[in-house]
Amino acid sequence: MPSISLIFSCLFSLAVCLGLGGGARAGTLAAPGPNPNWTDMQQFEWYLGYMAQAASTCGTYNESAVLRQLARMSPFGSIGLGSVTGDGFAGPVCGRINNEAKELVADADKIRAYIEATYGCTAEECYGQRMVAWKSHSCAGSLTEYLARRQIESQISAVTINDVISGGHWDYHARIRLKSCDGSLYVEMKQSCRVERDYTRGDCEVAGVDGF
Last residue of a domain, one of 74, 96, 124: 124
Whether 209 is in a domain gets the answer no
Whether 211 is in a domain gets the answer no
Q: Which domain holds residue 26?
A: 4-124
Residues 31, 97, single domain; the answer is yes
Residues 117, 142, single domain; the answer is no
Last residue of a domain, one of 124, 139, 166: 124
Whether 210 is in a domain gets the answer no
Query: Quick one: pLDDT band at residue 166, thresholds 50, 70, 90?
Result: low
Whether 108 is in a domain gets the answer yes
The per-residue pLDDT for 32 is 61
The CA-atom distances, in angstroms, between 140 and each of 26, 71, 76, 122, 198 are: 38, 20, 22, 23, 16
Residues 11, 108, single domain; the answer is yes
| More confident position, 175 or 22 | 175
Last residue of a domain, one of 94, 124, 154: 124
Whether 172 is in a domain gets the answer yes
Share of the chain above pLDDT 70, in %: 72
The per-residue pLDDT for 15 is 45
Distance CA 55, CA 75 (A): 20
Residues 68, 90, single domain; the answer is yes
Query: Quick one: pLDDT band at residue 5, thresholds 50, 70, 90?
Result: very low
Residues 101, 158, single domain; the answer is no
Mean pLDDT along residues 114-119:
87
Whether 212 is in a domain gets the answer no
Residues 154, 194, single domain; the answer is yes
Residues 18, 112, single domain; the answer is yes
Residues 145, 50, single domain; the answer is no
Structural domain total, the chain: 2
| More confident position, 172 or 198 | 198
Whether 40 is in a domain gets the answer yes
Whether 58 is in a domain gets the answer yes
Residues 151, 56, single domain; the answer is no
How confident is the model over 81-105, as pLDDT tens digits? 777 654 556 667 888 888 999 999 9
